[in-house]
Structure 1
C-alpha cells in the first residue's frame, strides 16, 4: 500500500513531465545502437536454403562447347540492332526467337511522366514445357540497355542463346518465358502489368501470348561490348519497388550456384571488395537500407516483386577470367532449381537485411530499431497531451503586488489577523484533505484502508483549432505531391527550388497570420504539436512493418521534432527554427543530391517516373507524413517569434 500511495502521489508531481524528453532521446539512442550491433555475429545468421526442393547446384550443366559459337553469333546480331528503330529491332529479335521454334509476340507501350514520352516495344517468347500443363511459368529477361545506360549486348545474346538451348531439353515442368525489353524498368513494368491485366489498354498493349502463374524471374545484365568482355564477379541485385524484397531462398540459390558450383564470386550493394569485416558488413547493410528506403526500381526484376513474383538480376562486374559460358551455366542451373519447385517460394524470409552474400539479419532482430525511434514520437505526444491539460500559472502583475506604505500599529494588527486566518485555513485544509483528498482502496474484515492522494487538476482542452490545423496541414501535402508528379520536366528544377523557398517561409507566414488574432494560445499550440507527433508515430510504426528502412530514415530525420517547443522568442527559438529548416524534406533532398554529386533534375525525373510507371509511394511518405509533421512543428516554434 505504501508503494501504491507513492505512485498515486506522483501523478501530480511536476517532475514527471521532465522525464519524456530524456526518455525520447534514450529511445532514439537505443534504436541507433541496436542498428549498429546488427553486423556482429551474435545478431546475424548465415544464409541457408529453406526449400529443400530447390536443390541448388545438384545438377550437371551442359551449356558449353558449341553453344559458345552460337552465343558469339547472337552477340554480333544484337550489336547490329542498337541503332535500328524500335519496329525493325523487334522484327529482327522476333525472327531470331522464331528460329528456335518458340511462340513469339511483341508489345508496344507508352508512358508520359513529367511530359516526357517513354515509348518502346517488348519482344517475348514462350517455351511450353514438355512436362507442363501451362499453369506455371518462369521468366528469363534482358533489356537492350542496363540500369547504368550501357548497351546490354552480351545479356540479350545470352537470353537468345539460352532460349535456343532450353528448347532442346525435355525436362521442363514449367513454361519458360524469354523477355527482351527496350529498357531496364519501363519495359518490364509494362509487360508484367499487362500479364496480370493491371494495365491501361490505351497506352500499354495487351499481351497476345500468356502462360500460367509466374513462379520466379531472373534478369541478366552483361554490359560487354560487341567483342565480349570477361568479368570477375556477379553483382546480385534484389531490391524491389517500395522496398519489397524477393524470397531469400531465391537469392541464396543464386549465390550457392554461382559461388559453390561455378566458382564465381558474388557481391551485393556495389560492395566490389568485401572482406567480411564489421565495417564492410555495416556499410553493406546501410547501402541496402538506403536503396530500400528510397523505394526506387533497381533493375528489370523490380517490376515483378509487387506481384509476389520472386525476382533478381545478375550483373557482371570487374575484370577477371570468367566468361559468358560461366554465366550461362549459372542461369541454367538456377532455372533447373526453379523447375523443381512444387509450390511458390514461401518458407524463407521476405523481410531481411543482407550483410554480405552469405550473412543476413532477420526481421525479428532488426525491427525493434525502427519501432523504438517511432515510439519516441508517441511518448512525446502523450507528454504534450498531459501538459496541455494542466492549468497555466497566471503571470504575476507587478503593479498589483507593489507594497503600500503602512503605519507600525496597522502592521502589527494586520500581522495578528493574518496569523489567525492562516491557522484557521490550515485547520480547514487538513480536514478537507482528510476527506476530499483521500481514496478508499480496500475494505477487509470491516477495516477500511485510506491512502492520501493528490487531486489532479485538469483544464478543458480546446480541440477544434488544433485538430483542424493538423488535418489541413496533411491535406496541404497533396499540392506538392500532385505538382511534382505532373510538372513538365523543363520546369521541374525551378519549381523545386521555388518550393524550397516557399516551404521555408510558409511556417513563418502562418505563425505571423495567426498571431494577429492572438491564436493559437499556448495550450492550443501544445495540442497542435501533440496531434502531429501522434500521427507521425503511428504512421512510422505501421510503415516499419512494410518498409523498415524508409521508416527508420524518416524517423531519424524528424527526430528533432520531439524536442522543439514554443518559446518566448530570443536566440533559443531562432536556433530551434533554424534546425527545423535543415530537416525540411525539400532541403534534405537538395542537400543529399549535392553531397552525393547526383543531378537534382535526374532525381526529380526518376521520382515522377516512379510515380507514374512503377507505383512508387516514397513521395506519399514525404509529402503526406514527413512534411505535415515538419510544418506543424515549425509553426509551433515560429509562434514564439511573434
Structure 2
C-alpha cells in the first residue's frame, strides 16, 4: 500500500473515532432556555383534584366504549368538547396505500383566546391509538378532554393564543389529513373533507400518548420528525425544566430505558445509545410520533409518551400530567418563537446536555471530500497511452539532447461507456422504484424483493456484457472517477438535508469505494462483490434482521401519504451507485 493510500485510510479511521467523542460531556454544553422565552416554573397552575376526577370519569367512559363503533366514539368526544364550551368540528378522510384502505374521523375543538383576535394558536393532540398501533390511548384522550374543559372553565385571561384540542384517527395519516386541510395545502393522495372551523397560525403542538389506564414511571420525549426534521431546542428544554422543577417527573429520551432525574446526566453508554438512536430515526426519516408531521408547516412539536416499564420507584398519574400542561401552554403562548436561537439541528445525548451538529457536519464534509481526493488520485495515476517524454534539440548546434518529461499531456478519454453505465444503472433504479410503489398489495409485497433483485441482476449483466465485448476495452478509471465525484456530491448535499443519513452513507461506502478496483485475481473480485452486496439495501436489511414486509409497508406508506424521500433516495441514488461499482470490479483491465 502506498504512502498516500495509507494516509487516507488513517484519516478515515480518525474521523470514525471522532464520532465516538460526541457523547462525552467534555464536548457538549449544558442545555439552556433562550433569553426570549419565559422562564419555566414562573407560572401558577390551578389544575386540581376536581380536574383529576373529570379525567378519571373520561377514562372510565372511553374504556367502556372499546367495543363501540367509531361514530359513537367520535360523537362522545365531540359532545364532551361542546359541553365544555369549545367550538367543535369533525373531519372524514380516506387514503389508499398499496391496496390498503386507511380511513377514519378526526374531531377537534377550538378554545378562542380572550386576549387576541385568533391569529395564532397552540395544538394539544391525542391519537386514538398509541405509537405501537395497537394499544388505545385511553389516558391521553382523557387528559386532553379534561385539559380542554379546564382551559375553558378558568376565569383567568392569560391565554394569548387560541388552543385547539385535536383527537386524531388512523395514526399519522389522520394528522396529515387534518394538517393539509387546515393549511389548505394538499400534498398527498389523502381524500379528506374540508374544515369549516379554523383558528390562527399554529405556533407549537404537543402530542399526548399515554396508553392504557395505569400510572406511569417516566415521561418519554419523542421529537424526531419526518425526513429528519427537528423542533426548536427551547421546546424540549422547557418540557425538561417544567417536569423537574414543578412536577418532579423523571425524563426518558424516547424509550431508551434510562430515566433522568434532577441533576442526573447519565453516563457515556446511555448518551452514546441516545445519539445512535437519534441518528437512526433521523436517517430513516421516520417520525417517532404524530408530532413529526407538523414540522413541514414550520410548527415546532413534540410527543410526550407515558413509560410504564421504567426502572424507578415513583409513579405519576393525571394530577402530574394535568399540572404539567398549564405551565407548558403559558410558556409556549408567551414564547417569541421567531427570535429564539436556531438550534433545530442540535444533538441531545442526555436531558442536561446538547451537542452542536456543526462538528458532525464538518466530519461529513471531510468524509465527502475523500472520494473527490481519491478521484483526483485515480485520474493522475492512470496509465498514459502516449509518450511522456520528448527529445529536445539545441537551436545553436542542432544537436539532440536527452529526453525531458512533459509538464502536461493531453490524452483522449473514452467517456461514452462510463456515461452509458451510469445511465443504465440509474434507469434500473427508477424501474425498481416504480415497481415498489405501484400496483402491489400488501399480500404481494414480499415478491417485490425478488423482482427488484432480478431487475438489478439484469442491469449488472447488461453493463458487464456490453463492456466485455468492446474492443478496445473501455477505461474503468473514468467510470470510477465519475462515480466517486457523484458520491461526494450526494454526501455533501445530503449533509444539509439529513446529516445523520449523510454520516451513515459516508461511513458505509467511502472506504470500499476508495479501495475497490478491478483485479487480475478472480477471488479478490468476488470478495469485493460480497462486500458490495452486504452494503447494498438488500444486504443491510438481511444483516439488520428487519421484517421485510413491515419495512416495505411503512416506507411505501410514508412516501405516498406523508411525503418521505427515503424510498426514492435508496432506489434512485444509493442502490445504483452500488450497481456501478459492481460493474467496475468486473471491468477488464487494460
| Residue 447 of structure 2: aligned partner | 494
- Is the contact between residue 424 and residue 463 of structure 2 (CA under 8 Å) also seen in structure 1? no
Q: Could you tell me how far apart the structure 1 residues matched to 2:33 and 2:199 are? A: 28
| Equivalence for 2:267 | 277
347, 351, 357: which one aligns with 1:357: 351
Q: Deviations over 1:583-636 (max 9, x none)?
A: 1222212322x1xxx422111100011101221111122122211211111111
Secondary structure in 2 matching 1:558: helix
Moved more, 103-112 or 182-191: 182-191
CA contact (8 A) 1:485 1:607 kept: no
Q: Among 532, 535, 551, which residue is 1:580 paired with? A: 532
For residues 87-236 of structure 1, what are the structure 2 equivalents within 5 Å?
Answer: 87-149=71-133, 150-169=135-154, 170-199=157-186, 203-225=191-213, 229-236=214-221
* CA distance 1:156–1:520, shift in 2 (3 Å): farther
Residue 71 (structure 1) aligns with: 55
Q: Secondary structure at the match of 2:217?
A: strand
Number of the residue aligned with 2:249 = 264
Q: Which of 222, 225, 232 pairs up with 1:237? A: 222
Partners of 1:84 and 1:640 lie apart in 2 by 69
Give the conservation status (yes or no) of the 8 Å contact 1:122–1:182: yes
Residue 318 of structure 1 pairs with residue 312 of structure 2: no
Instruction: Spell out, residue by residue over 1:71-101, the C-alpha distance to the aligned partner (whole angstroms, 9 max, x if none).
Output: 1111122223333332332222111110111
The alpha-carbon deviation at position 393 of structure 1 amounts to: 8.5
Q: Shift of residue 201 of structure 1?
A: 8.8
> Equivalents in 2 of 1:21, 1:478: separation in Å?
35
**SS of residue matched to 2:484:** helix
CA distance in 2, matches of 1:354, 1:393: 57
Count of aligned pairs between the two proteins = 566
Q: CA–CA distance in 2 between the matches of 1:172 and 1:191? A: 24
Q: What's the TM-score once normalised by structure 1's chain length?
A: 0.84
| Residue aligned with 1:54, SS | coil
The structure with the larger Rg is 1
CA 1:173–1:217 in 2, change beyond 3 Å: closer, same or farther? Answer: same
Distance 2:431 2:122 in 1: 42
Which of 387, 391, 395 does residue 384 from structure 2 map onto? 391
Deviates more, 1:109-118 or 1:461-470: 461-470
Mapped contact 2:126–2:208 kept (Cα < 8 A) = yes
Select 2:373's aligned residue among 371, 374, 379.
379
| In 2: Cα distance, 1:460 partner to 1:499 partner | 37
Which residues in structure 2 correspond to 1:509-588 (within 5 Å)? 509-518=462-471, 520-521=473-474, 523=475, 525-559=476-510, 560-588=512-540
Distance 1:84 1:468 in 2: 60
Equivalent residues in 2 for 1:323-472 (5 A)? Answer: 323-344=317-338, 346-388=340-382, 390-392=383-385, 428-430=400-402, 433=404, 454-472=406-424
3-state SS of 1:122 partner: strand
Once the two structures are superposed, the pairs formed by residues 36-75 of structure 1 within 5 Å of their partners are 36-75=20-59
SS in 2 for 1:177: strand
Q: What corresponds to 1:601 in structure 2?
A: 549
Residue aligning to 1:443: none
1: distance between equivalents of 2:428 and 2:288?
Answer: 31
CA gap 1:51/1:590 in 2 versus in 1, 3 angstroms? farther
Q: Determine if contact 2:473/2:588 at 8 Å carries over to the other structure.
A: no
What is the rounded CA distance, in whole Å, between the counterparts of 1:564 and 1:585 in structure 2?
A: 19
Asked whether the 8 Å contact 2:140–2:208 carries over to 1, the reply is yes
* Cα shift readout 1:510-532 (whole Å, capped 9, x = no counterpart): 313431234751x2x21111111
Of residues 342-351 and 571-580 in structure 1, the stretch that sits farther from structure 2 once superposed is: 342-351
Corresponding residue SS for 1:306: helix
- Match of 1:104, SS state, is strand
Distance 1:301 1:119 in 2: 20
Q: Distance in 2 between matches of 1:429 and 1:83?
A: 100
**Map of 1:398 onto structure 2:** none
Shift of the alpha carbon at 1:563? Answer: 1.1
Q: Could you tell me how far apart the structure 1 residues matched to 2:399 and 2:137 are?
A: 93
Deviations 1:75-132 (A, max 9, x none): 1222233333323322221111101111101111111111100111100111110012
Contact 2:23–2:349 under 8 Å retained in 1: yes
Supply the distance in 1 between the matched residues of 2:69 and 2:399 (Cα, whole angstroms): 100
Q: Aligned Cα RMSD in Å?
A: 2.4
1:11 corresponds in structure 2 to none
Equivalent residues of 1:573, 1:641 under 8 A apart: no
2:278 corresponding residue in structure 1: 288
CA apart distance, 1:23 = 4.5
Moved more, 534-543 or 264-273: 264-273
Provide the C-alpha distance between the structure 1 equivalents of 2:555 and 2:339, rounded to a whole number of angstroms.
31
Match of 2:578 in 1: 630
Q: Secondary structure at the match of 2:92?
A: strand
TM-score, scaled relative to structure 2: 0.91
Tell me the distance in 2 between the aligned counterparts of 1:548 and 1:601: 27
Q: Residues 82 and 65 of structure 1: is their aligned pair in 2 closer, same or farther, counting only changes over 3 Å?
A: same
Native 8 Å contact 1:239 1:245 kept in 2 = yes
Question: What secondary structure sits across from 2:106 in the alignment?
Answer: strand
> Residues 301-349 of structure 1, C-alpha deviation per residue, up to 9 Å, x if partnerless?
0110121100000001025421121011112211110111244364240
Point out the more displaced range, 198-207 or 122-131.
Answer: 198-207
Q: More deviation in 463-472 or 332-341?
A: 463-472
Following the alignment from structure 1 to structure 2, what is the Cα–Cα distance between the partners of residues 519 and 88?
A: 76
CA offset at residue 498 of structure 1? 3.8
Which residue does the alignment assign to 1:12? Answer: none
For residue 249 of structure 1, the aligned residue among 234, 242, 247 is 234
> Structure 1 regions of 5+ residues with no counterpart?
1-14, 395-425, 438-453
